[in-house]
Amino acid sequence: MDNINPQEVKMSLCPVLNRDNLFKAGQGAGLSGSFFFFSKDNKFIIKTLRGDEKKVLLDMLDDFIEYLEENDN
pLDDT in tens, 8-65: 889 898 988 888 877 776 555 566 677 778 888 988 888 888 778 888 989 999 998 8
Are 37 and 19 in contact by the 8 Å Cβ rule? The answer is no
CA distance 36 to 24: 9
The confidence score (pLDDT) of residue 1 equals: 55
The confidence score (pLDDT) of residue 62 equals: 93
The confidence score (pLDDT) of residue 60 equals: 94
Q: Which residues, including other chains, have CB under 8 Å from residue 48's CB and lie 6 or more apart?
A: 34, 35, 36
User: Nearest-CA neighbor of 34 among 24, 49, 46?
Assistant: 49
Extract the runs of DSSP E, i.e. beta strands, from the chain: 36-38, 45-47
- Per the confidence metrics, is the pTM higher than 0.75? no
The confidence score (pLDDT) of residue 59 equals: 94
The confidence score (pLDDT) of residue 63 equals: 94
